[in-house]
Amino acid sequence: MEGRVLIIGLGLIGGSLAMCIKEKHPDAELVGYDLDQNQMNLAKMLGVIDRSAEGMEEEALEADLIILATPVMVAGKIIETLASLPLKQEVIITDTGSTKGFISQKASILSDKGISFIGGHPMAGSHKSGVAAAKKLLFENAFYLLTPASHVRDSTVDRLKSWLSGTKAKFLKVSPEEHDYLTGVVSHFPHVIAASLVHQAARADKEKPLVNRLAAGGFRDITRIASSNPRMWRDILLQNSDVLVSLLSDWQAEMERVKELLTTKDEDKIHDYFDAAKKYRDGLPVNDKGAIPSFYDLFVDVPDYPGIISEVTGYLATERISITNIRIMETREDIYGVLVISFQTPEDREKAMQCIGKYTEYEMSVAE
């Protein structure tokens, strides 16, 4: 496809989308705009965009596709600006936010002018941020939810999918309301629960300092998402508050159910409670990307001696395999410890297993 694409917001998501579009549509002109001049300069230097925009409004007038890769509240203000401009009648405007009710309401002013707005949510991310972290493979096999306004034709949705086909994502069309419920269940609500668990541990730590030390292992892993950007999650909770209030009511009922099981000490029902959870969890897709970015851990049994971490990471560096995190568990003198190495993709983890296996005889395992 030929045409001009304006990407507003040159962070991880905006930069990655630009790379995907350029890869699939080399004849398209990629124009980037960001309030951070350094991000624009870096995007141009890295070849993520063809050129940077001197002004957002001027570039929007000639754009065939406008992508709002900004926080949702910022995207809402940009939509107000775009609605006041004489845009091309066939232009498509889309966003990348993780809530859709608010932005869809804002976009109604575009619908009144006959401009096609298609809400978008690529369900992929990274522990890194900024355009320097952008990569073409970020969205591969990830779900990409689309919430087109009611007046938008299917052919227009197909045109957006064509623009975004280089992402190699799995497109799903849902209503804004369904989107916010689905992401509330599998992403927003788990973040609330993770944060609440951390708060509970912090309170306990004041009386029992051992809590902090014991929480360094599995507890730290299962509450990883509590380390997400506080400002972003403040906005998400405010924008999806109705769904989350309902989910919290359901959660309170669920905890009352657990409380009743503990009070009655019904062994069979307690067993069945965990058994049902295990069966459902074990049946979840393993290879699909979900709402919360996955980290793929490799457990390596290593001897406890100075330099073991640099030894193993050196092997990975030789093969140019990137890692996202590394730590040692259960290391005691004169016995083997467990080196836990996290990767961003299962492919990287598989390469790491082959790499370490080539240089050592260390035992390795993975957890699904």
Q: With 60 as the cut, is the pLDDT of residue 291 above it?
A: no
The least confident of 32-36, 132-136, 172-176 is: 132-136
List the domains of the chain with CATH numbers.
4-174 (3.40.50.720), 179-255 (1.10.3660.10), 296-366 (3.30.2130.10)
Tens digit of pLDDT for each residue in 343-361? 877 788 889 989 998 888 8
Q: With 60 as the cut, is the pLDDT of residue 168 above it?
A: yes
Q: With 70 as the cut, is the pLDDT of residue 315 above it?
A: yes
Reported as a pLDDT band with limits 50, 70 and 90, residue 240 is: very high
pLDDT of residue 129: 76
Q: With 80 as the cut, is the pLDDT of residue 296 above it?
A: no
Reported as a pLDDT band with limits 50, 70 and 90, residue 337 is: low
Reported as a pLDDT band with limits 50, 70 and 90, residue 287 is: low
> Which residue, chain included where needed, has tokens 């509590």?
226
Reported as a pLDDT band with limits 50, 70 and 90, residue 195 is: very high
Residue type for position 293: P
pTM of the model: 0.78
Provide CB contacts within 8 A for 34, sequence distance 6+. 8, 9, 10, 11, 14, 40, 43, 52
Q: What are the C-alpha distances in Å from 164 to residues 170, 344, 368?
A: 11, 22, 30
Please report, to the nearest 10 degrees, the dihedral formed by the alpha carbons of residues 358, 293, 280, 263 taken in order: 110
d(CA 15, CA 130): 8
pLDDT of residue 94: 97
The answer to whether residues 193 and 251 touch, using CB atoms and an 8 Å cutoff, is yes
Average pLDDT over residues 175-188: 94
Which SS3 state, helix, strand or coil, does residue 93 take? strand
> What is the side-by-side strand order in the sheet with 65-68?
51-52, 29-33, 4-8, 65-68, 92-95, 116-122, 143-148, 170-173
* Beta pairing partners, 327: 340
The whole-chain average pLDDT of the chain stands at 88
Average pLDDT over residues 219-230: 83
The least confident of 2-16, 200-214, 354-368 is: 354-368
pLDDT of residue 311: 87
